[in-house]
Chains A and B, each alone.
Chain A
Amino acid sequence: MKRLITVLCLLPVLACAKEATPMAQNPEVEARVMALATELRCLVCQNQTLADSHSELAGDLRREMREMAEKGMSDKEIAEFMVNRYGDFVLYRPPLKPTTWLLWFGPFLLLAAVGILLLRYLKIRRQRLATEGQLTEDEHKKAEAMLQNSGDKA
């Protein structure tokens, strides 16, 4: 009985063993491929990296990357291989080029625009306060009376 239970417990392990994905022979290569794969987007499940995705295409692409890494291609060359096929979209860090200028510098442009608006607003407000903000003699007295009253109550 005990033996049967042991065998039954081992069954799922056997099932998993079949599913294991092939890895590069060289652990260094495997580490490099996986590091690079975290920088690349899977096109099937677009919010996952190639390293995380379980889609078939991601598996195939990891296989291609392993083969390229084993051939001694640099990370840059492997990334280029991907970009040539799927476009800049596969890169999680988009490259700096004319079509991505707005993406890279847009936030700074927005910040500058808001900064200019804020400065202008502050300047106008300061001017208005300087001219309109002053209390007349009557208002001063009124205000003082009000303050005194509330002070008494407290």
Chain B
Amino acid sequence: MNRYLLPLGVFILLLVFLGVGLNLNPHEVPSPLIGKPAPAFNLPALDNPAATFAQKDMLGKVWLLNVWASWCVACREEHPLLVEFSRTGAVPIVGLDYKDARVDGMRWLQDMGNPYQTVAFDAEGRVGIDYGVYGVPETYVIDRQGVIRYKQIGPITPEILRDKVMPLVKELQK
């Protein structure tokens, strides 16, 4: 009997490892930017090429930077939640329209509602690269000092908003 215990133990251990591995999402690569200052940028606004938005305009405030695009399917899924959430006024949301056409981006906001305080327009995706964006939508929680505290890869769900984003924002706003 004893001689079967060891292989059985090893087998169960292997199953546990495989099980954990299967439940990890390989597309969620931890960002090296967490705990670091948000990369500087200065971009034209989506609705007005003459106006600009820089990340340092938000210093002193806790804010969300939501990277989206009109061509992004998952953003469509996320957007109503952002619109609803922005009505609570809990935290300012800034949009970053990533690799998009100006007309398409503006039409999207007209059709789906605009949850953003400002939308910066990143036509070439260079700011996206500085922020390590690789799967739109992505959302960053940035604190008063301009440090990135959290990054959500993929759409925000009501659960993530309730359990992760809001507690963190409240903590940072204290």
**Which A residues have a C-beta under 8 Å from some C-beta of B?**
43-44, 46, 56-57, 60-61, 64, 83-89
Smallest CB gap from A61: residue in B: B129
**Which B residues have a C-beta under 8 Å from some C-beta of A?**
26-27, 29-33, 99, 124-126, 129-132, 134-135
Smallest CB gap from A88: residue in B: B32
Smallest CB separation, B156 vs chain A (Å): 20
Q: Residues of A contacting B134 with CB < 8 Å?
A: 43-44, 57, 86
- Asked whether, in the complex, the Cβ of A60 is within 8 Å of the Cβ of B32, the reply is no
- Asked whether, in the complex, the Cβ of A89 is within 8 Å of the Cβ of B129, the reply is no
Smallest CB separation, B98 vs chain A (Å): 10
With A43-B29, A46-B26, A56-B99 as known contacts, state yes or no: A86 contacts B125, CB within 8 Å: no
With A86-B132, A86-B134 as known contacts, state yes or no: A60 contacts B30, CB within 8 Å: no
- Asked whether, in the complex, the Cβ of B135 is within 8 Å of the Cβ of A44, the reply is yes
CA distance A43 to B31 in the complex (A): 12
Question: What would be 20 A-B contacts, judged by CB atoms less than 8 Å apart?
Answer: A43-B135, A46-B26, A56-B125, A60-B124, A61-B129, A64-B126, A64-B129, A83-B32, A84-B32, A84-B33, A85-B33, A85-B131, A85-B132, A86-B32, A86-B132, A86-B134, A87-B32, A87-B132, A88-B32, A89-B29
Beyond A83-B32, A85-B132, A87-B30, 5 additional pairs, beta carbon < 8 A: A43-B134, A60-B99, A64-B126, A87-B31, A89-B29
Q: Residues of A contacting B30 with CB < 8 Å?
A: 87
CA distance A56 to B129 in the complex (A): 12
- Asked whether, in the complex, the Cβ of A85 is within 8 Å of the Cβ of B130, the reply is yes
Most buried by B among A44, A64, A85, A87: A85
- Asked whether, in the complex, the Cβ of B29 is within 8 Å of the Cβ of A86, the reply is yes
Q: Residues of B contacting A64 with CB < 8 Å?
A: 126, 129
Q: Residues of A contacting B130 with CB < 8 Å?
A: 85
Smallest CB gap from B36: residue in A: A84
Smallest CB gap from A46: residue in B: B26
Smallest CB separation, A64 vs chain B (Å): 6
Smallest CB separation, B106 vs chain A (Å): 21
- Asked whether, in the complex, the Cβ of A85 is within 8 Å of the Cβ of B32, the reply is yes
Q: Residues of A contacting B125 with CB < 8 Å?
A: 56-57, 60
Smallest CB gap from A64: residue in B: B129
Q: Residues of B contacting A57 with CB < 8 Å?
A: 125, 134
- Asked whether, in the complex, the Cβ of B27 is within 8 Å of the Cβ of A46, the reply is yes
- Asked whether, in the complex, the Cβ of B29 is within 8 Å of the Cβ of A85, the reply is no
Q: Residues of B contacting A44 with CB < 8 Å?
A: 134-135
Q: Residues of A contacting B126 with CB < 8 Å?
A: 60, 64
Smallest CB separation, A21 vs chain B (Å): 15
CA distance A140 to B7 in the complex (A): 36
Smallest CB separation, B138 vs chain A (Å): 11
Most buried by A among B29, B99, B134, B135: B134
- Asked whether, in the complex, the Cβ of B129 is within 8 Å of the Cβ of A85, the reply is yes
Smallest CB gap from A55: residue in B: B134
CA distance A85 to B31 in the complex (A): 7
CA distance A71 to B99 in the complex (A): 24
Smallest CB gap from B32: residue in A: A87
